[in-house]
Amino acid sequence: MNKDKVTSWLKWLDLPPIWLAVFLALAWVQAHRLPVPLPGNGITDLLGGLLVGGGVVLMAMAVMQMRQARTTVIPHQTPQTLVDGGIFSRSRNPIYLGDVMVLAGLMLFWEAWPALILVPLFIWLITDRFILPEEERLQETFGSRFDAYAAKTRRWL
């Protein structure tokens, strides 16, 4: 395989769902190899389920909205449209926010308390590897329209 093919292949592996799967696997390993059970009455299961369900719904809403706008959901591509209404008027990154909700929710459900340290690490990684480069492309593509959107809509919440 030549260098360009390897680089292209690795770029497709460098996607948020892959990183989410890696962080989930780390949390699952911690929960099963070094369990830290807490006595409870199902509150953490309920909260975990609400976070996972809410995260999946949030991601689905954002993807549907981006599809309706006929723009890409692939992080490494330049969008054709600036989606700034609907769920995107509350968060500039609802899909990534949904990823964080799923990650935290499954950690709660699995009682992977020590693994919760991975949540801020995941947020940092997603911001550094995906959000900042995406925002750069959005600013280059949409200019002052993106600047106005970024000024009124928070990156995460």
Q: What is the pLDDT of residues 80-112, one digit of tens each?
A: 999 999 999 999 999 999 999 999 999 999 999
Supply the mean pLDDT for the chain: 93
pTM score, whole prediction: 0.92
- Which value, in Å, is the radius of gyration of the alpha carbons in the chain? 17
- Cα(106)–Cα(101) distance, integer angstroms: 8
Kindly list the domain boundaries of the chain, sorted by start residue: 41-152
Q: How many CB atoms lie within 10 A of CB 13?
A: 8
Q: What is the pLDDT of residues 28-54, one digit of tens each?
A: 999 999 988 877 778 889 999 999 999
- Cα–Cα distances (Å) from 47 to 22, 100, 111, 126, in that order, read 22, 14, 11, 23
